[in-house]
Amino acid sequence: MHDIKHLDIAAGTPEARRIAYRHIIGNGPTLVFLPGYMSDMAGSKAEALLGAAREAGRPCLLLDYSGCGKSEGDFAEGTLSRWRDEVLALIEERVRGEVLLVGSSMGGWLMLLVARGLGDRLAGMIGIAAAPDFTRWAYDEAQRAALAGGEVIYEYNPYGPEPTPTHPGFFADAERQLQLDDVIPIDARTHLLHGQRDEEVPWKTSLRLAEALRSESIQVTLVKDGDHRLSREQDIALLQSVVHGFY
């Protein structure tokens, strides 16, 4: 990843941080990939999307949220609002024209917040096991009470040796960013992908999201034997096909 660049956000303020990104230019809407919780732009889906965009002459933007991957910052300070602002700042600074958002897991929640900020620049959205409102349905009442009381909670991490932390600041901000209880005022074309063997985000979450979105142009594709990551060769091929349909 020798092509990584950095953008300074909120320079000269206590909120200053450097955001790492990769960007290629081309024709058509810029695909912007939003990784999941504690993930980054080095993942297989991000790499595959960037490679396909380069081959097709399409623009693509990958990034690491502050506190993740190659970006500066403390992960404990990360929130949906903070990361949304970073994505929008990077798009404003580096992207011209329309934007196609692709959000994976938590990135699918963040995708909805970024989409609202883009307004008429939004060309469409693709969700991969999108997980809006997961602070409501993924934690039990004891965990939610602990977070609301200022505690950090830790959960089993199926992708690494260290447990996955959730910080109270993230939780408090997320409770102000809930999406599924009302109509989501986004009219853009949307395609949601979800594996029915997803053990982390129930596949019916994508159906709830499709129902909540105001857009009348929505497709949901369920992969019966697909897991949460949808990163097998056939899953990547499906994702690439969906992306191609937006161009």
Query: Is 198 a known active-site residue?
Result: yes
CA distance 188 to 235: 24
Query: Is 228 a known active-site residue?
Result: yes
Please name the residues in contact with 135: beta carbons below 8 A apart, sequence gap of 6 or more: 144, 147, 166, 171, 174, 175
Query: Is 241 a known active-site residue?
Result: no
Catalytic residue among 66, 104, 228, 235: 228
Query: Residue written as tokens 């129902």?
Result: 211
Strand order in the sheet with 60-63: 5-9, 17-24, 60-63, 30-34, 99-104, 122-128, 190-195, 218-223
Catalytic residue among 64, 173, 198, 235: 198
The closest of 190, 192, 201, 191 to 229, measured between CA atoms, is 201
Tell me how far apart the terminal alpha carbons of the chain are, to the nearest angstrom: 26
Catalytic residue among 64, 105, 173, 191: 105
CA distance 224 to 114: 29
Residue count of the chain:
247
Active-site positions read 105, 198, 228
